[in-house]
Structure formats: C-alpha cells, structure tokens
A and B are shown apart, each in its own frame.
Chain A
Amino acid sequence: MDFLQFLTPMYLFLIFSGTLVGIIFGAIPGMTATMAVAVCLPLTYSLGLDNGLALLLGLYVGGISGGLVPAILLGIPGTPSSITTCFDGYPMAQRGEGEKALRIGIISSLVGGLISLAALFLFAPALAEFAIKFSYVEKFLIILFALTVMAALSDNMLLGIFSGFLGIFVSLIGVYDVTEGGNGQYRLIPPGTEYWLEGGFSLLPVLIGLFGLATILEGAEAGMPKGQSLKDIKVGEHSRFRWSVFKGQVVNLVRSSSIGTFVGILPGVGGSAASILSYTAAKTASKDPDSFGKGNPAGIIASESGNNGLTGGALVPLLSLGIPGDSTTALLIGAFTLQGIQVGPLFIGNNPGTWDSMIVAMLLANLVMFGLMYFAIRWLAMVVAVPKHILFPVILMMCVIGAYTINYGIMFDVWTLLIFGIVGWLAPKLKLEIAPFIIGFILGPAAEIYFVKSLESFGTLSIFFTKSWIALLLWALIIGSVVGSAMLARRKAQGQGAAA
C-alpha cells in the first residue's frame, strides 16, 4: 500500500486540474498536449518532482484524449494524433450519432491508456531493450507501412496516392534540420521565401487549415446552413450508445492499444503514426473495409485506443533509457532536469518512489479523463446545435490563436493556416484528396530521415530486405496492406460498374 502515500490532496488536485486543462487544450483546434505541458512546465520547479509530474501527466493524458471532441463533432482534429478519429467520427456526428461516437471514443481512449499503462508498469525495461533493436531501417519500414493507409483512404486510388505524395513533397519544404541528423541545408524553398519557409510548414496550422478553415470556407460558399436544434441532439433509439457496439471489437481494441504502445516505445516515430497504424490495421483486418471513412465505429475505436495507447508507451524509453518516445514526453524530461534528476537506464531502480508516483498519476489521470469526458458528453455534443454563424467565427478565432501560439508566436503559421484552408477548399474541386495528403504530410519528414539515414549508414538499398527478421515481418505487413487496398479498390470499381 505504499502508493497511498502519494494520494495527498495536492497530488489529487493537480491530477484533476491537469487532466481538465489538458482536455481543454486538446479540444481546442491547434492547441495540443505538448503545448499544455510546455506552458505548465515552469510551474513544476516550485511544485516538487512528484506533484509536478502529476500535473504534467494529467495534462498529457487529457491533451491526447481531448482531441477527439472536435474531431468527432466538427471534423477538425484537435491534435495531430486524432486525425483518423475524424474519418469515422465526423460522418457519425453528421448523421446524428455524435454522442454515440464520443462515448465510443472516450471508452476506447480509456482502454488504450490502461493497456499501455499496464505495459509500462510490467514490462518497461524489457520493452526498452526491444525498442533499441529498431534501427533506422525498421523505423523507415514502419513509416512505410503507415503510409500504405493512403491507398486505403482514397476514393480514387490513383488520385489518392498522388495526393499523398504531394503531401510528402510539401512536408519536405524547408531546412534539412541538423537536429534531426540532416545537413542543415535548404531544399525546395522558392527563392526569396527563405525567411518564412526555412522551417517549412508547421503541422498544426496545415492540419487545422485543411480540416477547419476549409470546412468554414465550404460553408460560406454553400451559404450558412441552419444549426441543428437541441431536438436533433436527443438522438433516436437506433443511434443511442449501447455497449454492444464493442461486441466483436475486443481484438480491435487490444490490437490498436498495443500498436499505440509499440509506436510509443519507438523514439522518433511520432504520435500521429500510432493512430494511423492502428487505423490501417483495423481497416485491413475488417470484413467490411469499405465502411471505414463513412462512420464505422471500429475506425474510432482503432484511432482512439491507438493514440491513447501511446501515452504509456512513450514513457517506456523515457524512463528506461532517458530517451523520449514522443514530443510531449520530450518536454517531461524538462521536469526532471529542472529538479536536477537525470533519467537514464538506472532511473527506475534508483528512484522507485518517483516511478510509483508516476504510475499512480497515469492511472488516476486516465480515470479522471474518463470521468470528466464521459459525463460531460451531453454538453459537449451540444456544440453541433450552436448556430453556424456563431460557431464558425469562434472556431476560426480558435484556429488562428492555435496556429499563432503553436510555435510561440510566429505569424507565418497563421498565413500557413490560411493558405492550407484555401488548399483544402479548392482540393475537392481539383479532385485532390485531403486525407491521403495529410497522411503524407504527417509521415513524410520521418520517412525521409529514416530512409536517408538507412542509406548513409548501410550504403545499400538491399539493407531494407536483409537487415533483420523484423524488417521481413514489416514487408509482409506492407504487402498485405497494399494488396488489401488494391483488392478493395477493384471490388469498389466492379460494384460501381455493376450498379451502372
């Protein structure tokens, strides 16, 4: 019962308030868990390590989870890792099942968080040992596997893949950053724009431009639709949430949570890849893959359990090797260094008290997240009842604030938001597909770094096939996903032909 010593009123208050603030940050498009942790990091020095970590872990869990709210209700991913939640959550909300989709997402988030926490608690050192077996080669293949979802998400496979490659191309604009192992040189930057494009286009402004601003522009073009009334929120029996929706989804839940945890333990692969990979796996394994992207609850389950599965996973390399698993846990290192504590391979053994405190904080943060969000659903779901002429300006303002603050006040990020808002509005008219584009944009930089580093390190393309058994396994998954997508596209084409 040693853990009871942590449960002071201050500790509990910090977890509660951290989770609440994290959910709010996650729910505002453009604001992320990373930003929430960055803002509150300086507070941790005065709070002490255990209390400081309780606050930050609450923010982390809340921030990752809160992203599902705008993803489902507005079609705008609150955080990059909730991008795939949009694909099925928003169509459900549009057909009056927003509340149901939210409940599915929140429960999946809780399950993902708890499974990854169990993995962290029971297997952290062993998982860290396994993680270091993944070199640049294996990491590139993981990203390649995640990229195969571009084909699966496309309405027209050729255009979808083209859009995806366009997304990769745009993501590579800017400096080849030395902090990522690059040579610090500029590439793909039009002459005269180096000052603004040196760092490339930031992910968050691109994301909320394509999904948020573009929706507003489309609404403006079509004329302001009337908002749904509160009567519409009180959904019919058929669309009410029932636990039976999880029937047959246990495998999806466990698999997606495990994928999220696994991606978390691999430093540098990135949080967004967790939900994309989980979604890809769920779609590939589904008997009805065609329904994904059209409001299939299995898509939300995969995405949300995947991205919350990341939370525990990303702490594995941090606490076992001193290496952060994602951008938010990279900030958590600051809490340790501000207290003069080094995290490394001996951290858990040398600091059992802090380790226990973190595990308890993660557990409580997940439960508080569930409690806060699950019981607030009725009020959250009413967002769609707000008249669009009020809702859209508020969303626009939040998007602009989020874009401006994401990199601590860079005006070019606001221009990026506007540019990609217009791109998102024009894309359907030009037959470009936004979902593959954004997947390419998110995964492009990591794919480039790992591909180049693999070649620099091993000097031959054959290394991608000969490096290890893990590489071969990943190739099998990549081929399986590509073949599955091709067969799906063929079936769809045949179906359309028969219908014609």
Chain B
Amino acid sequence: MATDPQAAAGQRTVEALAAKLRRRQVVGSRESALETALVLRQVVSKARFQNINQLVEIIRSVGRKLIEAQPKEHTVGNTVRRLLHHVREEYDNASKGEATTSANEFSIANFVLQGQPRRQVAEKEAESTLVLKEDDSDDPDSFSRTLKPVVMEAIQDILDDLETVYDNIAKSARDHIHSDEIILTVGRSKTVETYLKSAAHYHKFTIIVAESGPSYGGHDMARSLSSAGISTFLVPDSSIYALMSRVSKVILGAHAILTNGGMFAITGTLLAATAARAHSTPIMVCAGQFKLTPLWNLYHEYGALDFADPSGVLGFEEGDLVDKVDVVNPYYDFVRPDLVDVYVTNEYASGIIPPPSMYRLIKESYDDEDNEL
C-alpha cells in the first residue's frame, strides 16, 4: 500500500499539512479542521483498502501524523475522529441494519456502555456482509469501491458542517441577546462575530471588545462589528474589571472544548471569565462542534503550554532589555468548567448545553476507541 504511487501522493499532502501545522502557518481551530478534512479527502480518495480495519488504520495514521506535528490544534484530531465515527456508522449501516439494535435512545443507564456493543456487532458483521465484500481476493477493490463514495460523502458532510458552522451557531443568537444589553467579548472570534451580527438583526445592543494583547485581535473584531452597525467600544484588556460591573453578558469564543466542560481559549479569556464570575455576570461560549475534544487532562499551569512569538510583547525596539528578560506570551488560557455558564454549539436543539453535560455531546460525536488515535 505504501509503495502505491497514489498513496504516496496522499502521504505527501499529509506531510505538507504537518509541516504547515508545525510551522504555525495553519493556525486557528477552524482552519486546521478545514485543512485536515481536505487532506483526509485526498488521502481517502487515493487510498486502497480491502476491509474496514485497513481504512480506519489509514485515517488514523493520518491523524497521528498531524497531531504529532501540532498537538495543540485539537481540531485536527477532532476532524479525524469525527470522520472515523462517520465511517463506522456508514459501515454499520451498509453491513446491515443490525447495528441499529444497539438502540438510539440515550439514557443515563445505557449511556456508559455506548460504543461497546457496536464493536461486537462490527466484528460479527464482517462475515455476513452482502453489499460490502471485505478481503475479497478475487476483486480486492470491491470493498473500497463500495465504501469509498460513502466515506467521501461523509468528508463532504464534515466540510459542509465547517462551512455552515457559524450560521448554525448564530441561529440561537436572537433568543440569547436582548435589547439594550452590554456584552463583553475578548479578542477576535469569527464565531462570536457572526453570532453578534446575527443578533443585531433583531436587537440593538452595545458591545465592549477587549483588544486582547499582544495579538490585538480585538481591533479587527471592533472594526468588523462597528461596520455592521453595532455600537462598539474597544477597550484595553486592563479595563475589563472596571467595566464588568456594567456588562450584562460575556460572550466568548473557544479554541477547544474539553470533556470536563473546560476550554482552551485565547489569552485574556480567563481574566474576563474570572472577572465576570466575580461580578456574577453570565458567561456564554460560542463554539462549533468541531472544537469538542474528547480529552481532558491537558491543562497545565502554563496555560496550554503553547507559546507565541515574544516580540509581540517586548520587541527588539527595547534592544537593551530583550536578552535580559524572560518574556511569556502564551496563545491560550485554560478556562475551568465552573467559569462557563453555557456552551452554544451549532446544533440548534441539543447544542446549547452547560459545561457539566459537555461529555455527553462529545460522546455522541466520537467513538470511544478513537480518543487515542
């Protein structure tokens, strides 16, 4: 398989993305997810496999490589996991309706066992397949021929999902934001931006944007929101506490949401969230489902242990200081689950959930066996 020239081409695209991720040319959760999905599409379209395990292994190996290149872009792994979930689902469906016996209704009682029955089913199905011919020695391509279009469709679904994620999240904006509210947000998040703009169609409200140094993404955010006709105030990060007493709601973006309901988000988020807690101001986090990460033990004293270029904090214009001072410029803050009131994701009905229930949504989105790729 590896000697296959087509598969080699697929590997090259993987390597290219891995390099980009490593060099931080692809940053941001959505962009990483998008790039990953595109690479997966390319790899799967060229891959040759004879049974489900081979296909899963191919996808997983892509995931492993990309995650190894940039373990902090959690959406890479999430996209891979989501695809695996879809693949298994399609496979189960195609290989007979019996997989559905594992019951779709969710109750706490059988919830813990979710995912367990299916594996047994899958193994049993391997022989009884009618449509799918695995390991067919006469026609080795028959399996991939049948399954590939389905998998490609699944990837397309993921891509479509990523395209529409902002609008889907924004659907609930109207219900959550009221007239005359003063809303604080930190830095720039495309999700929050779309959310607020969508709410602006129905209500008039005021937004305070903390600029979030040293990236100062808040400037772009403020510019964009104000040009959409929303009354916007741009403030330095230092005045978050001072203004918090007048803020009625804090709406934040996320980088990754973890199973325990905590999240990684741009630096400054923790400050805003803590200040909001101190003032008992509700905190909403808007994030697409591709940010749900089935991991939980990632936080560390040093934010996300991921540091950006220090020149943004202390540039070379401070020549005599640069080599004598440690400069810390982390990308992300870890925000504990108790600081967040609600997550708004792109599933309208069930997507608005409090942090303690986050594990459920994550369990529904991925298969347990993929938590470690």
Asked whether A and B interact, the reply is no
